[in-house]
Amino acid sequence: MFTRTSPSTGSKSPQVDGFYDPATGSVQYVVSDPATKQAALIDIVMDFDPASARTSFHSAQTALDFVRDTGLTVQWILDTHPHADHLMAQHWLKEQTGAPTGIGEKTHDIATLWAEIYNLPDSFDPARDFDHLYADGDRFKLGNLDVQVILSPGHTLGSVTYVIGDAAFVHDTFMHVDSGTTRADFPGGSSAELYTSLQRLLTLPDDTRLFVGHDYPPVGERTDPAWESTVKEQRAHNTHIGGGVTEADYRKLRDARDSTLNLPARMLHALQVNLRGGRLPDPEQDGQRYYKIPANRFPERNT
């Protein structure tokens, strides 16, 4: 697994350790306060094999091994949104650590949307499956560090950013500066809302470190995954929105690009797990668990 450390820059700054999952292009984060050794796990992956529908926890265990080996204590288990490209490991991580879980409060709205798509009206209850449902502007502590929650819809209607000291975990909004931004065509997504979210994030201080949710190398001559930049770098050089691109031009670019993209291979499995906080569907009378996949619900696309 490709890993990289972004060290603390001072007393109000976390250390950020990123762990890249090549199967999904996802970046998982262990964020820690050097003074107290308290850590938050952000967007940790439950491994999933689409061919066999088998789950495992190798990626999540790597994060926990790092926590143990570096003397950290898990204070929070956080996700930025119910992911479409990977299954989240929140439930398993809580079993292993006892730490509370959190996600944005508008996960309620995402659950309502997907309950209709799956025809599972009674399956999703975010208040049951997440310990904290954060609203825009909520604040809490990671060790001695301040954490602020910023609602950042567009990719989903309920995505949130966690700003921890001088680090912001911007999930599926920005990508690395040479890759642009993320898609906004999933149910509940909106390129207009994504543009607004991107602009709001660009009002953070110039030197704020931005940590994105995904990377898909190779990009140009770059072959290694990259996930850290600054507000100043994104504002000036982001290939989709840098240099003051207008909303109309951005939406034209984003919508055209999204119209060519196939659904993520794990999406229809992932949402019914992630909206339950990383819990698989309940066992049926034979003791087995089953996914429910809607047939012919989504259009076929050719890339």
Question: What per-residue confidence (pLDDT) applies to 301?
Answer: 74
The domains of the chain, with CATH numbers, are 2-262 (3.60.15.10)
Question: What per-residue confidence (pLDDT) applies to 302?
Answer: 64
Question: What per-residue confidence (pLDDT) applies to 126?
Answer: 98
pLDDT digits (tens, 9 = 90+) for 12-39: 999 999 999 999 999 999 999 999 999 9
Please classify residue 119 by burial: count the beta carbons closer than 10 Å to its beta carbon, then call 0-12 exposed, 13-18 middle and 19+ buried. exposed
Separation of alpha carbons 49 and 198, rounded Å: 32
Residues of the chain with pLDDT under 70: 302-303
CA atoms within 13 A on the CB side of 185: 18
Decide if 294 contacts 117 (C-beta within 8 A): yes
Question: What per-residue confidence (pLDDT) applies to 3?
Answer: 95
Angle between helices 107-118 and 267-274 (to 10 degrees): 130
Decide if 264 contacts 84 (C-beta within 8 A): yes
Question: What per-residue confidence (pLDDT) applies to 1?
Answer: 76
Phi–psi pair at 94, nearest 5 degrees? -65, -40
Separation of alpha carbons 119 and 103, rounded Å: 23
Task: Give Cα 111 distance to the centre of its chain.
Answer: 16
pLDDT digits (tens, 9 = 90+) for 187-210: 999 999 999 999 999 999 999 999
